[in-house]
Amino acid sequence: MENRPLEYDYTVAKMFMVTTIVLGIVGMSIGVFIAFELAFPGLNTIFGQGIAEYTNFSRLRPLHTDAVAFGFTLSGIFATWYYVGQRVLKVSMAESKFLMLIGKLHFWLYVLGVAAAVVTLFMGYSTSKEYAEFEWPIDIAIVVVWVLWGVSIFGLIGIRREKSLYISVWYYIATFLGVAMLYLFNNMEVPTMLATSAAGETGIGSWLHSVSMYAGTNDALVQWWYGHNAVAFVFTVPIVAMIYYFLPKESGQAIYSYKLSLLSFWGLMFVYLWAGGHHLLYSTVPDWMQTMGSIFSVVLILPSWGSAINMLLTMKGEWQQVAASPLIKFMVLGSTFYMFSTLEGPIQAIKSVNAIAHFTDWIVGHVHDGTLGWVGFMIIAALYHMAPRVFKRELYSKSLMAAQFWIQTLGIVLYFTSMWIAGITQGMMWRAHDEFGNLAYSFMDTVDVLHPYYALRGTGGLLYLIGFFMFAYNIYKTMSARPVEESELQNASPMGA
């Protein structure tokens, strides 16, 4: 026993891999559908006038964002944690019945929470706050799920054999703490059933409804402190955790610089939280806060590029792997998109640029080159790396993976280029005045002009979705293939001698 390598237990990792793929398909399909609704409004009623209330753009939009952020991405984060955590801490989930139970409970409660969120959002129960639309009972369920994940993280850390925490673990811890803080404060709300009328009636109206603890400008401030940092602690920090593990593992290269990873980690932690103010430029929040938001957004380039450059330099001297392996391609292009996106963001956060960009599709484009190019690619790469190891089977098809890579890359390029043009065009048209100082365009003029870009964006999204289906198929075929019969090989002896 002592001399055998540790047998890691991937039960929970496998469960979350399934939800990553299923919820990815759900969220991205809705995304493609609503993208085409903007290009071809007739699609709002394509499933019949009777259920149009549930299939029109406005009802589906929060479902798309929440399904990809809290369905696909969170599942991916959990799946990789239950894989990476054991391996870098040198301890197996099988060693602790308690942690195994917590892990499974974590999974099933998460699934329950997702189901409740989907049903209530379809029905129109919403707090209206972006990426925090869920009403209070679901918020409580989410907190419980999150605490269970925390128990998993710190439980595993508690029984670890490797004393020093690997860089990925830093980022997972930060994800846990950051989201916990943000989510709690942003979702402070009072259920309306607690109020009493003068006649003594209580529990009036819908028990699901609640009122935000904050009003107006304060509410906006807390929401975008949350909203921006949900991007930080769901779309950045845990994804960096993944690349710090999977890129060195897959390429066989050591991390380029430990010091750079230190600088990037603590830099990112300190700077990111300030940047939320850039969502509120020229709004009614105080000027100094807007300026801070702008400045720190630009400073944020440093720690972001620190991580990305650290990753790219990890490939130093081994660039032929990028050509040879589609899996390395996903990760290297992922880091490149991360660099690209973390340069684009600060540019948009500069006040004069933001004056044009805010409220337009350029912002939507920015979000998607980050999420499709960086988050999506990295989770896909992580699952591709994990699949042969957790299912103990060879990956079904490498050429399918390569084809997927190119199709999705084309999709992303179509997506962000069309949204750039759409956003800047609309921003410029909104502010254009004619020679007499009157507005040059009606609002409708600025909508009409977007049609080709909306169609192109939908096409880009569709290509990405097709690639995602190829990914799902590839993983499915890997899972369901005949197992590699290692044990038989070991015991085989020629002629039974």
Among 212, 404, 409, 418, binds another protein (CB under 8 A): 212
CA distances from 467 to 67, 267, 281, 324, 370 (A): 18, 35, 37, 20, 17
- The three-point CA angle 53-411-305 to 5° equals 110
Element (H, E) at 211: strand 210-212
Among 359, 392, 394, 452, binds another protein (CB under 8 A): 359
By beta-carbon proximity to another protein, the closer residue of 222 and 234 is 222
- Please, what is the minimum distance in Å from the beta carbon of residue 100 to another protein? 20
- Please, what is the minimum distance in Å from the beta carbon of residue 394 to another protein? 36
Q: Is 417 in the site for another protein (CB under 8 A)?
A: no
* Range 328-347 burial, b when 16+ CB lie within 10 A, else e: bbbbbbbbbbbbbbbebbbe
Among 47, 124, 188, 392, binds another protein (CB under 8 A): 124
User: Which residue stretch of 136-144, 355-363, 397-405, 480-488 sits at the interface with another protein (rule: CB under 8 A)?
Assistant: 355-363
Q: Is 190 in the site for another protein (CB under 8 A)?
A: yes
- Three-state DSSP class for 135? coil
User: Which residue stretch of 3-11, 204-212, 321-329, 411-419 sits at the interface with another protein (rule: CB under 8 A)?
Assistant: 204-212
Under DSSP, the state recorded for 187 is: T
Q: Is 58 in the site for another protein (CB under 8 A)?
A: yes
Question: Considering Cα of 126, then 129, then 134, then 136, what sign does the dihedral take?
Answer: negative
Q: Is 183 in the site for another protein (CB under 8 A)?
A: no
By beta-carbon proximity to another protein, the closer residue of 61 and 249 is 61
Q: Is 349 in the site for another protein (CB under 8 A)?
A: no
Q: Is 140 in the site for another protein (CB under 8 A)?
A: no
Count of positions on this chain that bind another protein (CB under 8 A) = 95
Closest CA to 59 of 114, 123, 119: 123
Give CA–CA dist 89/119, Å, rounded. Answer: 38
Among 3, 352, 399, 438, binds another protein (CB under 8 A): 438
- Please, what is the minimum distance in Å from the beta carbon of residue 296 to another protein? 8
Among 32, 174, 295, 308, binds another protein (CB under 8 A): 174
Binding mask 256-295 for another protein (x = CB under 8 A): ------x---x--xx-xxx-xx-x--xxxxx--x--x---
Q: Is 297 in the site for another protein (CB under 8 A)?
A: no
- Three-state DSSP class for 166? coil
The angle, 0 to 180 degrees and rounded to 10, between the axes of the packed helices 237-251 and 326-349 is 150
What are phi and psi for residue 188, nearest 5 degrees? -65, 120
Q: Is 228 in the site for another protein (CB under 8 A)?
A: no
By beta-carbon proximity to another protein, the closer residue of 273 and 347 is 273
Among 112, 115, 184, 204, binds another protein (CB under 8 A): 204
Among 101, 206, 324, 480, binds another protein (CB under 8 A): 206
Task: Burial-class residue 197 by CB neighbours within 10 Å (0-12, 13-18, 19+).
Answer: exposed
Among 19, 73, 86, 127, binds another protein (CB under 8 A): 127
Interacting residues with another protein between 35 and 54 (CB under 8 A):
37-38, 41, 44-45, 49, 52-53
Q: Is 164 in the site for another protein (CB under 8 A)?
A: yes
Task: Burial-class residue 101 by CB neighbours within 10 Å (0-12, 13-18, 19+).
Answer: exposed
- Please, what is the minimum distance in Å from the beta carbon of residue 325 to another protein? 31
- Please, what is the minimum distance in Å from the beta carbon of residue 282 to another protein? 4
Q: Is 143 in the site for another protein (CB under 8 A)?
A: no
Q: Is 90 in the site for another protein (CB under 8 A)?
A: no
Q: Are 362 and 417 in contact (CB under 8 A)?
A: no
Q: Is 214 in the site for another protein (CB under 8 A)?
A: yes
- Please, what is the minimum distance in Å from the beta carbon of residue 44 to another protein? 4
Question: Considering Cα of 289, then 293, then 298, then 302, what sign does the dihedral take?
Answer: positive
Interacting residues with another protein between 368 and 387 (CB under 8 A):
none
Q: Are 337 and 377 in contact (CB under 8 A)?
A: yes
Q: Is 161 in the site for another protein (CB under 8 A)?
A: no
By beta-carbon proximity to another protein, the closer residue of 201 and 488 is 201
Question: Considering Cα of 136, then 69, then 297, then 378, what sign does the dihedral take?
Answer: positive
By beta-carbon proximity to another protein, the closer residue of 44 and 251 is 44
CA distances from 170 to 31, 156, 174, 244, 253 (A): 32, 14, 6, 11, 20
Tokens of 9: 């237990």
Element (H, E) at 189: strand 189-191
